[in-house]
Amino acid sequence: MSQRYLIIASRFNDLISKALLGGATEVFSEAGIAASQLDTLWVPGCFELATVAAQAARSNTYTAIVCLGAVIRGDTPHFDYVCAQTAAGLQQVAVATGTPVIFGVLTTDTIEQALSRSGIKGGNKGKDAAHAALSMAKTMQQLKELTKR
C-alpha cells in the first residue's frame, strides 16, 4: 500500500496555521512524499480537528494524520477547554483507530509565542509534526511486520 498523509488545519488563527502547514508540506516533500500522496483539509477551529481526524482515520486511507493550529490564551477559560479537549480528542482517535494522529497544535500564552513556534519568527512546529508523522508511519510498519511473525 502506498503511503498517503492528511493534514488538517484550523482556520482560526490562520496566519499561524498557514505557516505550520508550509513547514509540514516542506518536510513531506523533502521526504519524497508526492503531492498526490498528501491531502489537506481546513476546519473552522482546533476543536473540530478531532471530528475530521476520526472520519479520516476510520476510512483507512491515510498512513498518518497531522493536525495543525494554534490556540492562544485569552482572558477567559475558553483556552483551557479548547486545548484539553482538542488534545484528548486527537489522542482518542489515534488510540481507537490505530492511525497515528499527530498533535501539531500550538497552545501558547501570547501571539508572540505562536509566531516564534510557527516559523514566522523562529522554528516551525509544523515541520516537527510532519517528522513525527513520518516516524510513526515507519514505526507502525515495523510493528505490522513484527506482528506477522
Instruction: Compute the distance between CA of residue 9 and CA of residue 108 in angstroms, rounded to an integer.
Output: 17
Residues recognised as catalytic: 78
Here the contacts of 117-124 (C-beta below 8 Å, separation 24 or greater) are 118/16, 118/19, 118/20, 118/23, 118/70, 119/19, 119/20, 119/22, 119/23, 120/15, 120/16, 120/19, 124/19, 124/20, 124/22, 124/23
Closest CA to 111 of 63, 81, 143, 79: 79
Helix orientation angle between 125-147 and 14-30, rounded to the nearest 10 degrees: 50
Instruction: Compute the distance between CA of residue 42 and CA of residue 48 in angstroms, rounded to an integer.
Output: 10
